[in-house]
Amino acid sequence: MYAVTTVDPRLFSSTPDLDLVERHRYGDAEAFEEVYSRFAALVYNLCLRMSGSPEEAEDLTQEIFLRIHRNLGRFNGKSSLKTWIYRITLNYCRSKLSVKKHRYPTAPLAEETEEGGVHLTDPSRGPEERTLAQDAARHVSLALRQVKPKFREAVVLRDIEGMSYDEIADILGVRIGTVRSRIARGRDRLRIILEKTALEKTAP
């Protein structure tokens, strides 16, 4: 099915990313499997945080990997493969979410995950600590869905993915000042929502 070559493409690649890309270009199916195993969790979690639904995150992830597979051969190494995949993921999520005028579901994420993804549990946490953490996580996840997508993606990249402002600016294709502003507005919106939720919980 694939083109046969007698030259090992790895001889020409200068970085691990480009090595994978070259192997993919030469029809090495394992190269894409490697890309998948390296980035599946990243893409899925990003989709999950952007869409707020495990089912939708799964659909989005499938579509995104289809696009990655189709376009991997065109990756030129100007950015890291991870940045490139982040860009594809966010662009695709953004287009889908804007088309759908995404609704803000209210079903708790913890329940939804029983059908969808699986928690990567921190084994160092005790059962009580885990319950509290899950409760807090549920509230934050719900609140996150109520933040505008452009602020949400900045917050997700910064606080969940742990990226620097420079990296976020590179991925989103905006200036650092814009990144700073979007992160702030996203966080502030979350703060207001969570404070309101806390007040409602304590109200008689």
Binding of other proteins at residue 155 (CB under 8 A)? Answer: yes
- Look at residues 180, 170, 199 and name the one whose alpha carbon lies nearest to residue 80: 170
Binding mask 110-149 for other proteins (x = CB under 8 A): ---x--xxxxxxx----------xx-xx-xxx--x-----
**C-alpha distances in Å from residue 109, one per residue of 59, 100, 112, 117:** 17, 20, 5, 10
What count of Cα atoms within 13 Å lies in the side-chain half-sphere of residue 151?
Answer: 16
Question: Total residues contacting other proteins (rule CB under 8 A)?
Answer: 50
Task: Select 15 or 71, whichever has its Cβ closest to other proteins.
Answer: 71
- Look at residues 70, 174, 58 and name the one whose alpha carbon lies nearest to residue 118: 58
Q: Which of 32, 80, 82, 178 binds other proteins (CB under 8 A)?
A: 32
Task: Select 68 or 97, whichever has its Cβ closest to other proteins.
Answer: 68
Q: Are 95 and 50 in contact (CB under 8 A)?
A: no
Provide DSSP, 139-180: HHHHHHTTS-HHHHHHHIIIIIS---HHHHHHHHT--HHHHH
Return the range that interacts with other proteins (CB under 8 A); candidates 9-17, 73-81, 89-97, 190-198.
190-198
Instruction: Read off the amino acid at residue 144.
Output: L
Binding of other proteins at residue 185 (CB under 8 A)? Answer: yes
Q: Report the site for other proteins in 42-81 (rule: CB under 8 A).
A: 44-45, 48-49, 54, 58, 61-63, 65-66, 69-70
3-state secondary structure of 7: coil
Q: Which residues bind other proteins (CB under 8 A)?
A: 32, 36, 40-41, 44-45, 48-49, 54, 58, 61-63, 65-66, 69-70, 113, 116-122, 133-134, 136-137, 139-141, 144, 155, 158-160, 162, 165, 180-181, 183-185, 187-188, 190-191, 194-195
